[in-house]
């Protein structure tokens, strides 16, 4: 197992579409900050982040569906990220990349208003109250996203956790953000969303068990 992880890490070091900065590099002035579109993707298309991308299959799926957008999957677990990064390489997808870093430092990697859209897919719901600040839709994180997002930027949350779905709706309402769409059972809803055919590995496991998948889309209003 350890040798397999080391092999994956070594392979990713050779992938031009994978960026793995050290924390010191981020703090001292990250070279791609403010330059993701022009220097990394080499175009001016909208920039979409997937936070907690895991194996990266959702970023890859979105990139294939929306070729006129740039997608960047972000996670700290490189051995998982290798799956999507390798698929993107093998399929020569030029509009998807991966950034290996902790999400709590995300403001160090992007300039103000540089991001057009954010996807949060199946994050750890952090059920214990003492870990509430670790939830990716906690106000601490929403304030970070507010810095990155352009004024009309949209956030999507897709999760199997009814708890996190309800918690997020409460935060949206309590802080006066703009809820654009919400569904507590996405795949049994009458309204079919255009992104429904893209599913992560773990999402399919939940669906096979009969667990409902929730979804919401909102804009920040700080």
Strand order in the sheet with 149-159: 18-19, 96-100, 70-75, 47-51, 115-121, 149-159, 214-219, 178-183
Q: What per-residue confidence (pLDDT) applies to 78?
A: 85
Q: What per-residue confidence (pLDDT) applies to 1?
A: 58
**Does some domain include residue 62?**
yes
Q: In residues, how long is the chain?
A: 222
CA distance 56 to 200: 8
**Does some domain include residue 171?**
yes
Consecutive 10-residue runs of the chain (222 residues): their mean pLDDT?
79 94 94 97 98 94 97 93 95 97 97 98 93 96 98 96 97 98 94 87 88 96 94
Query: Is residue 152 within 8 Å of 219, Cβ to Cβ?
Result: yes
**Does some domain include residue 121?**
yes
Q: What per-residue confidence (pLDDT) applies to 190?
A: 87
Which CATH number does the domain housing residue 62 bear? 3.40.50.150
**Does some domain include residue 40?**
no
Q: What per-residue confidence (pLDDT) applies to 185?
A: 95
How far is the CA of 53 from the CAs of 14, 21, 106, in angstroms? 20, 17, 14
**Does some domain include residue 82?**
yes
**Does some domain include residue 93?**
yes
169-184 burial, b for 16+ CB within 10 Å, e for fewer? bebbeeeebeeeeebe
Write the secondary structure of 9-64 as one string of H (helix), E (strand) and C (coil): HHHHHCCCCEECCCHHHHHHHCCCCCCHHHHHHCCCCCEEEEECCCCCHHHHHHHH
Write the secondary structure of 136-197 as one string of H (helix), E (strand) and C (coil): CCCHHHHHHHHHHEEEEEEEEEEECCHHHHHHHHHHHHHHCCEEEEEECCHHHCCCCCCCCC
Domain span including residue 121: 45-219
**Does some domain include residue 97?**
yes
Q: Is the pTM of this model over 0.85?
A: yes
Q: How many structural domains are present in the chain?
A: 1
The residue from 24, 44, 116, 124 that is catalytic is 124
Active site annotation includes 208 = no
**Does some domain include residue 144?**
yes
């Amino acid at each position: 197992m350890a040798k397999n992880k080391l092999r994956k890490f070594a392979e990713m070091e050779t992938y031009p579409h994978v960026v793995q900065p050290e924390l010191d590099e981020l703090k001292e002035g990250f070279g791609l900050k403010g330059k993701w579109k022009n220097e990394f993707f080499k175009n001016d298309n909208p920039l979409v982040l997937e936070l907690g991308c895991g194996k990266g299959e959702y970023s890859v799926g979105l990139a294939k569906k929306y070729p006129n957008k740039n997608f960047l999957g972000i996670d700290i677990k490189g051995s998982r990220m290798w799956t999507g990064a390798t698929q993107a390489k093998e399929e020569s997808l030029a509009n998807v990349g991966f950034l290996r870093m902790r999400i709590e430092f995300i403001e160090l990697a992007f300039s103000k208003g540089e991001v057009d859209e954010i996807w949060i897919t199946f994050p750890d719901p952090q059920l214990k109250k003492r870990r509430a600040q670790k939830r990716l839709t906690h106000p601490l994180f929403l304030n970070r996203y507010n810095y990155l997002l352009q004024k009309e930027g949209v956030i999507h949350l897709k999760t199997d956790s009814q708890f996190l779905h309800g918690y997020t709706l409460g935060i949206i309402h309590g802080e006066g953000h703009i809820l654009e769409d919400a569904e507590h059972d996405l795949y049994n809803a009458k309204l079919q969303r255009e992104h429904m055919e893209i599913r992560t590995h773990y999402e399919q496991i939940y669906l096979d068990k009969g667990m409902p998948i929730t979804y919401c889309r909102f804009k920040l209003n700080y």
